[in-house]
Structure 1
Amino acid sequence: MPAKDKYHDSVRKALIKEGWIITHDPLRLDYGGFDFFIDLGAETVIGATKDGRKIAVEIKSFLGTSSLSDFHLAVGQFVNYRLVLKRKEPERMLYIAISQEIYESFFMTVFGQIAREEHQLRLLVFDIEGEVIRQWLE
């Protein structure tokens, strides 16, 4: 099983504060002879008579020497996880969890915005200290 990201507990607490129920920690999917481990699986009930919403969250700290290299790795994981989720759990939406600081320093750049749009990345932007979610970006 892979090691937990530095901000794993912060994101987990932030999701719980918003009413999400953590169903998997990690979410393990086997497909095509490989095991895939997405950091968290969660769901929530939108209303008393409506079906729950399911998500998968891959947490990225961007603590490497290059934010661009960290981004390349994150996109690769996202694309592969999205591929497997589409076949195994198509109702579950995939998000990359990033800190507010990384969102502002990387994803707000021209390249970051174009890349997010082109790769159709869903972002969950969280506050490290406050352990709260600041934005959901589709």
Structure 2
Amino acid sequence: MIAKKNDEKIIIEIKTFAGRSFIKELQHALGQYEVYFDLLELTGLDYELYMAISELVYKDFFLQKGTQMIVQRHKIKLLVVNIEREEIVKWL
């Protein structure tokens, strides 16, 4: 999804993490995020890349120390979304 945040152009990769293994889902999501990041850099497009996740997934998995370290190491920008209210609750 392509959107705007103020004057900033952003691309949002939406991830559900609905599989049985969070680690496998994270591996897949991280790989996709890095490929999209590289493609944006190679094409010179002026967009910021974000990964959107639900508030529940954020609380259950992304607050864990190991996941936080991975997010920081790979400089993943996150959008945390409340699915029921259909609103962004955190820009990280």
TM-score, with normalisation over the residues of structure 1?
Answer: 0.64
1:80 aligns with 2:35: yes
Offset, 1:89? 4.2
Q: How does 1:24-103 map to 2 (within 5 A)?
A: 40-44=1-5, 46=6, 52-103=7-58
Partners of 1:104 and 1:90 lie apart in 2 by 32
- Deviation string 1:49-95 (CA, Å, 9 cap, x unpaired) is xxx21000000000001111100000000000000011224420000
SS where residue 90 of structure 2 aligns?
strand
Partners of 2:49 and 2:21 lie apart in 1 by 24
> Max radius of gyration: which structure?
1
Identical columns (%): 36
Partners of 2:4 and 2:40 lie apart in 1 by 15
SS where residue 95 of structure 1 aligns?
strand
Whichever residue aligns with residue 116 of structure 1, its letter is V
Partners of 2:51 and 2:30 lie apart in 1 by 9
SS where residue 56 of structure 1 aligns?
strand
When the two structures are aligned, how many residues end up with a matched partner?
92
Structure 2 runs not aligned, ≥5 long: none
Structure 2 residue aligned with 1:121, among 76, 81, 85? Answer: 76
SS where residue 120 of structure 1 aligns?
coil
